[in-house]
Amino acid sequence: FHDYDLIIVGAGFFGATVAERAANQLGKRVLIIDRRSHIGGNAYSENDRQTGIEVHKYGAHLFHTPNRTVWDYLSRFTRFTDYRHRVFTSYRNQVFAMPINLGTICQFFGRQFSPDEARALIAAQAAELEGRVPRNLEEKAISLIGRPLYEAFIRGYTAKQWQTDPRDLPESIITRLPVRYNFDNRYFNDPYEGLPVDGYTAIFKRMLDNPLIDVQLATDYFAVRQAIPSDKTVVYTGPIDRYFDYRAGELKWRTIDFQEEVLPVGDFQGTAVMNYADEDVPYTRILEFRHFNPERDYPADRTVIVREYSRFATRADEPYYPVDTLEDRRTYLAYRKLAEEETGVIFGGRLGTYRYLDMHQAIGAALKSFETEVSPRLIGAERAA
Ligand code: FAD
Ligand code: NA
């Protein structure tokens, strides 16, 4: 560890971005370690052995951003396809476009509506609470989109996501439920969207392709921590509660179980993501990975699908979505205080800051952290030496 100017824990987008900047911009020697056997963090993907189809191993990853700086930055390491994400939902043996749009409304209520008619209909249905403050997620959702659409598209899906009746979930989980009063069924509104032409893992290979950067996989920070000199700058993107030995309590997460299957059909569902809104279907959605890359030459007689099951995480599970109750917020603030006192260690990324971050947000946060925290420290160490 003595040879390095910077030690980074975690080879996901946050860690890889900081490593790339420190090496390419400042010429610093970087060691990046990850306890997994691969780079890429949760954005990691690999090609299925039987079919060659690229599978995102930690759930579907769609790149989209409103941030030109992040788009330009990532474009140094990949080209993007013109993929535009769309999501459908299966409900009572029918298929509807998500997010709820005019097409969904016409189909669901069984007739044509103009945008103004649809607005008036949803407003009337959303008035059910008569101005009363929503007391739980169900009431909040009804106040936003009315009961019929809530019961069809939100109730079962949310109950499965949280393994909890929406009447027992806090209203604060949802702040808005987008309804589009036109026929636009693109999932994201961002000006920049696409999938990496050569897949996600190639991005990380290129970011870390510098003789100044060493990558050590299958290495847990806590197993090697004693050997790292105490004056080294460390960027830590693992779970913040784990770093402090859970001394202020455990931060809660949800996880997803992925059930992957290769099927002997050329096209299983005709689209990349099909949500399942019915509560009696145990999974929340099915991904079919070939549809993310229609430009590729994939086999015509086989396909890879993944069913997703959502549940609360234990310490042994992969943490995916922060549960983020008021208690979690308090716990996190206690860790934030400890982190500030931990000089020489910069906490970043989704696990290090207990936040759900999209990829573009993780990259944006890393670029900012590099500029305001990492770079000044590395340059300061240079001056002191
Ligand atoms: P991570 O990618 O989690 O990287 C952290 C790394 O630290 C991991 O590789 C981990 O192994 C390593 N680590 C942790 N502890 C230790 C330790 N003790 N020692 C060594 N290494 C350690 N974003 C989008 O923009 N679009 C999407 O469609 C999208 N879909 C998603 C779907 C799911 C199911 C999930 C969970 C996330 C999704 N995201 C999506 C978010 C995206 O995965 C994150 O933005 C991104 O992973 C954040 O990067 P990160 O570096 O902060 O964390
Ligand atoms: Na710190």
Q: Which residues are catalytic?
A: 176, 180, 254, 285, 308, 356, 358
For residue 98 the two structure tokens come to 């998500």
Mutate to test the pocket of ligand 1, among 359, 361, 370 (most ligand atoms within 8 A of CB): 359
Question: What are the pLDDT digits (tens) for 273-332?
Answer: 999 999 999 999 999 999 999 999 999 999 999 999 999 999 999 999 999 888 999 999
Tens digit of each residue's pLDDT (9 = 90 or more) over 46-86: 999 999 999 999 999 999 999 999 999 999 999 999 999 99
pTM for this entry: 0.96
Pocket test for ligand 1, best of 21, 42, 65 (most atoms within 8 A of CB): 42
Residue located nearest, by CA, to atom 7 of ligand 1? 10
81 contacts 197 by C-beta, under 8 angstroms: yes
Ligand 1-lining residues (CB < 6 angstroms): 9-15, 33-36, 41-43, 58-63, 220-222, 237-238, 256, 320, 349-351, 357-360, 362
Nearest ligand (C-alpha, residue 287): 1
- Output the CA torsion sign for 109, 112, 114, 115: positive
**What 8-state DSSP symbol labels residue 165?**
-
Q: Give the pLDDT confidence score for residue 176 in this predicted structure.
A: 86
CA-to-CA distance for 104 and 41, rounded, in angstroms? 35
ipTM value greater than 0.90: yes
The Cα–Cα gap between 338 and 41 comes to 25
Of all protein residues, the one whose alpha carbon is nearest to atom 2 of ligand 1 is 41
Bridge partners, residue 45, by sequence: 56
Q: Which ligand is nearest to the CA of 31?
A: 1
Rounded to the nearest angstrom, the distance between the alpha carbon of 373 and the centre of ligand 2 is 9
**Mind listing the pLDDT tens digit for each residue in 167-201?**
999 888 888 898 999 999 999 999 999 999 999 99
pLDDT at 1: 87
Confidence at residue 385, expressed as pLDDT on a 0 to 100 scale? 75
